[in-house]
Amino acid sequence: MTPQPAAAAKTERLLNLVIALLSTRRPLTKTQLRTAVPQYHQTASDEAFDRMFERDKDELRELGIPLVTALVAAAYDDELGYRIDRREYQLPEISFEPREVAALALAGRVWSHASLAAPARAALAKLAAAGVELDDSSLVGIEPRVRTTEPSFDAVRRAVAERREVTFGYRRADGQAATRRLQPWGMTQWRGRWYVTGLDHDRGAERVFRLGRIDGAVRAVGERAAYEIPEGHIPKVAVSTSVPAFVDQPPAVLRLRTGAGNTLRRRARTVGEVDDTWVQIDVDYRNIDSLAQEVAGFGPDVVVEAPDTLRDAVVRLLAAARDRHTGVAAHPGGMP
Amino acid sequence: MSAPRTPRGAARGTQESATARLSRLLTMVPWLLGHPGVDIERAAGQFGVTRDQLESDLALLFVCGTPGHLPDDLIEAEWEDGKVFLGNADAISRPLRLTVDEALTLMVGLRALAASPGVTGTPGSDGVLGALAKLEQATGEAAGLAARVRVALDDGATQATLTDASRAVQEHRRLRLRYQSFARDALTVRDVDPMRVLNLEAHWYLEGWCHRAEEVRLFRLDRIQTLEILDEDGTPPERATPRDLAGATYQASPDDIVVDLLTEAPAAWVGDYYPVDSVEELDEGRRRVRLRAADPSWVRRLAWRLGGQIEILGPAWLAQQVREGAVGALAAYPSVVVPEPEQP
């Protein structure tokens, strides 16, 4: 008695089929398989058997079972035969040292909160079935986690694996939206966000797309294995690696309220007490705009003494923030 | 001692597909062959199923076998007295190769760990690279795909901090941290009983019982200025329970302030970057964003640094604080005063 008789019968049929195909040296024809697997034997018609066998073959291949076909000499004509090569089917002999086992268990845990949690568990179960004794207690308390919260993650991963072109709606950082067409090459997670790299069909050039900016469904177009991926392609987010070296310029001079501006103070070249309320620091910088943003973020707790260009940039930011939050409720009674 | 067979006991919550069950059986058979006489509960635990489900799996195996399907052809399965014995399953005595997804999870995970050697021990002496090389060899084709999927766990936290924090967790030693709080712009010294080292959204954190706050806190490793392993037991008090991290690092609390923002197109990233309740797309790339903050000071700082690219729509008192803070800051530059616009 099983709760799902139909599903149970199908599992039984597939298992018998796998065992039959693994146990034979010579490829088995469909006629032979219909005799070899009891559930096929019981099918009502040739058509019903054909349909069932075709579906079963596809499902076994989807599980990663290497089912091969070969021509076999039959009574009247050559016929297709089927078998599974044990060497291709079996996980090769593999053994790990205790330290490696600990690393594997940890690598599996990386995915425990992601859409790939099930395959990660299945992979470790297969290693255990191959005789690897996984010890769950090692490296306890260490939890690297990868999340795959982007709705498009699975569709993109499939496309990368299948080398299949996709189209999707994409919203750029500046808010512009458009439909894009991409040959996906690889994926990378960087700073907690997933990106897909590949050949942008419309621009004819390599591009990186952030999965979180994909709007709606990712549709596969075209065939599987439709293109080659450049050898040695490493998916990475093209960040501004062109960080200029420190230019030969005087450091910025800032006044910090005691206890405030700690991220600046950590980088300071020199720190000097001014009085009980203020300290003065010298800090080197590369980019005046990003330093201005950082300083402005501290509001009244950090003051620019030099250079003037930095001071002006900070004043612009603060004045804009002030003006943006001015007088919303200042004119009751409608339009003047 | 066998539980009554009820459909509820046998069901696994959601309906399991025939192929998912086949996959499990193909892994279960070699494992059981390698553990003759294993306790049935342990076997069920190994495969994450109930004892009833495992028994029904064994019953199914029992009627399968090589063509002919005479008694000698069938798989032998016994599970009397709660001990499982399997036999005559030569064809499927080895597990199936890893699928592409399975290989990918382990290899991408190992590569990510390889880039953060502090986690597993001293660089070079840990098992990450060895495991990776062996797995690469055993998986063949799937290894190619795994190389095209990368995860960066590294966030600039120093390897020494990571190594020390991991060691303190394993050895239950108390830590003394000099910690830079981001939200409050303050440097504090805290004694912490470490509970876990974890990586979330590409940042490493130490979770532990903070004796200063008297509660469980998460500390970002890259904001720890110094970390000292004290010669004291660091077992956290019993009431210290790890946070549920299924969601974000940020735990919503009923005391949180609900903040509504309008972001201009260049600041659209704000809605992607912070955990938000909602994002509404408006015209010209603008967005209306609702988020929660336990401490509003970071929202004020964001408004100052983005200089008008975001507008706090509510609460009004927070918008007022942004205005007053900006006016106060500008008072330091009397020579370059930018007048406020006239009220309409």
Count of CB pairs separated by less than 8 Å, A with B: 417
**Of B57, B51, B1, the residue nearest B24 (C-alpha):** B57
Q: For position A86, what pLDDT does the model report?
A: 93
Q: What is the DSSP pairing of strand B149-151 with strand A177-190? A: parallel
Q: Cβ contacts (< 8 Å) between B307 and chain A: which residues?
A: 293, 296, 316-321
Closest in A103, A120, A296 to B113, CB measured = A103
The pTM of the full predicted model, rounded to 2 decimals, is: 0.72
Average of per-residue pLDDT across B28-48: 95
Identify the residue whose tokens are 């750029």: A172
Phi-psi region of A309 (alpha: psi -120 to 50; beta: other; left: phi over 0): alpha
Q: b/e string for B257-293 if b means 16 or more Cβ within 10 A?
A: eebbbbbbbebbebbbebebeebeeeeebbbbbbbbb
- B320 burial type by CB count under 10 A (0-12 exposed, 13-18 middle, 19+ buried): middle
What mean pLDDT value characterizes chain B? Answer: 84
The answer to whether the beta carbons of residues A120 and A112 sit under 8 Å apart is yes
For residue B223, how many C-alpha atoms fall within 13 Å in the half-sphere facing its CB?
20
Phi-psi region of B289 (alpha: psi -120 to 50; beta: other; left: phi over 0): beta
Closest in B138, B225, B304 to A296, CB measured = B304
Q: What span, in angstroms and rounded, lies between the C-alpha atoms of A107 and A323?
A: 51
Q: Cβ contacts (< 8 Å) between A15 and chain B: which residues?
A: 22, 25-26, 60-61, 64
Q: What span, in angstroms and rounded, lies between the C-alpha atoms of B244 and A113?
A: 11
Q: Do B131 and A260 touch (CB under 8 A)?
A: no
Mutate to test the interface with B, among A18, A67, A324 (most CBs of B within 10 A): A324
Calculate what percentage of chain B has a pLDDT beyond 90. Answer: 43
Identify the residue whose tokens are 């409608």: A334
pLDDT tens, per residue, chain A with 336 residues: 444 578 899 999 999 999 999 999 999 999 999 999 999 998 989 999 999 999 999 999 999 999 999 888 766 677 889 999 999 999 999 999 888 888 898 888 888 777 888 899 999 999 999 999 887 666 777 888 888 888 899 999 999 988 999 999 998 766 678 999 999 999 998 877 889 999 998 888 888 998 988 988 999 998 988 899 888 788 877 644 333 444 456 889 999 998 888 888 888 888 888 888 899 998 888 788 889 999 999 999 999 998 899 999 999 999 999 999 986 444 333 333
Q: For position B265, what pLDDT does the model report?
A: 85
Class of domain B16-92: mainly alpha
Q: How far A251 CA sits from the closest chain B CA (Å)?
A: 19
Q: Is the dihedral of CA A216, A219, A225, A227 positive or negative?
A: negative
- Token pair for B296: 């509003």
Please provide the CATH number assigned to the domain covering B159-233: 2.30.30
Main-chain phi, psi angles of B5, to 5 degrees: -80, 100
Per the DSSP assignment, residues forming a β-bridge with A7 are none
What residue spans define the domains of chain B?
16-92, 100-147, 159-233, 257-332
Q: Cβ contacts (< 8 Å) between A103 and chain B: which residues?
A: 110, 113, 120, 126-128, 130-131
Main-chain phi, psi angles of B100, to 5 degrees: -55, -45
Q: Render pLDDT for B292-335 as a digit per residue (tens, 0 to 9).
A: 887 788 899 999 999 889 999 989 999 999 999 999 999 999 88
Q: What span, in angstroms and rounded, lies between the C-alpha atoms of B296 and B304?
A: 13
Q: What span, in angstroms and rounded, lies between the C-alpha atoms of A91 and B323?
A: 66
Supply the ipTM of this predicted assembly: 0.72
Q: How far A207 CA sits from the closest chain B CA (Å)?
A: 15
Identify the residue whose tokens are 């927070």: B318
Q: Render pLDDT for B218-240 as a digit per residue (tens, 0 to 9).
A: 888 888 888 999 999 999 988 88
**Of B260, B193, B249, the residue nearest B220 (C-alpha):** B249
Q: For position A303, what pLDDT does the model report?
A: 94
Identify the residue whose tokens are 């907690």: A192
Domains in chain A: ranges and CATH: 10-89 (1.10.10.10), 153-220 (2.30.30), 252-323 (no CATH)
Q: What span, in angstroms and rounded, lies between the C-alpha atoms of B74 and B66?
A: 7
Closest in B15, B47, B104 to A125, CB measured = B47
The answer to whether the beta carbons of residues B50 and B10 sit under 8 Å apart is yes
Q: What span, in angstroms and rounded, lies between the C-alpha atoms of A211 and A217?
A: 11
DSSP 8-state code for residue A251: P
Per the DSSP assignment, residues forming a β-bridge with A182 are A166, A200
Q: Do A119 and B102 touch (CB under 8 A)?
A: yes
Per CATH, the architecture of B257-332 is what?
2-Layer Sandwich (3.30)
Q: Render pLDDT for A278-331 as a digit per residue (tens, 0 to 9).
A: 999 988 887 888 899 999 999 999 999 988 999 999 999 999 999 999 864 443
Which residue in chain A is spatially nearest to B141 when comparing CA positions? Answer: A161
Closest in B60, B272, B325 to A300, CB measured = B325
Q: How far B110 CA sits from the closest chain A CA (Å)?
A: 5
Average of per-residue pLDDT across B83-91: 95
Q: For position A152, what pLDDT does the model report?
A: 93
Phi-psi region of B181 (alpha: psi -120 to 50; beta: other; left: phi over 0): beta
Q: Cβ contacts (< 8 Å) between B322 and chain A: which residues?
A: 321-322, 325
Q: Which B residues in the span 123-162 are in contact with A, Cβ-Cβ below 8 Å?
A: 125-128, 130-131, 134-135, 137-138, 145, 147-153, 155
Counts for chain B of helices (H) and strands (E), in that order: 11, 13
Q: What span, in angstroms and rounded, lies between the C-alpha atoms of B217 and B207?
A: 6
Main-chain phi, psi angles of B77, to 5 degrees: -140, 130
Q: How far A76 CA sits from the closest chain B CA (Å)?
A: 25
Q: What span, in angstroms and rounded, lies between the C-alpha atoms of B20 and A4?
A: 13
Q: What span, in angstroms and rounded, lies between the C-alpha atoms of A7 and A22?
A: 22
Main-chain phi, psi angles of B106, to 5 degrees: -70, -40
Please provide the size of chain A in residues: 336
**How distant, in Å, are the alpha carbons of A318, A324, B305 from that of A289?**
13, 20, 10
Which residue in chain B is spatially nearest to A58 when comparing CA positions? Answer: B19
What is the 3-state secondary structure of A139-173? Answer: CCCEEECCCCCCCCHHHHHHHHHHCCCEEEEEECC
Q: Do A316 and B305 touch (CB under 8 A)?
A: no
The answer to whether the beta carbons of residues A134 and B46 sit under 8 Å apart is no
Q: For position B3, what pLDDT does the model report?
A: 40
Please indicate whether the domains covering B159-233 and B257-332 agree at the CATH topology level: no
Q: What span, in angstroms and rounded, lies between the C-alpha atoms of A40 and A52?
A: 8
Closest in A16, A175, A301 to B64, CB measured = A16
Q: Which B residues in the span 246-305 are in contact with A, Cβ-Cβ below 8 Å?
A: 246, 265-266, 268-269, 272, 281, 284-287, 300-305
The answer to whether the beta carbons of residues A130 and A124 sit under 8 Å apart is no
Q: Render pLDDT for B122-179 as a digit per residue (tens, 0 to 9).
A: 444 578 888 999 998 888 777 778 888 888 776 666 778 888 898 888 888 999 999 8
Q: What span, in angstroms and rounded, lies between the C-alpha atoms of B27 and B261?
A: 52
Q: For position B14, what pLDDT does the model report?
A: 60
Q: List, as one string, the DSSP characters of B247-316.
A: S-SSPP-TTPEEEEEEE-GGGTHHHHHS-EEEEEE-GGG-EEEEEEESSTHHHHHHHHHTTTSEEEEE-H
Identify the residue whose tokens are 């597993």: B120
Q: How far A86 CA sits from the closest chain B CA (Å)?
A: 8
Q: Do B67 and A35 touch (CB under 8 A)?
A: yes
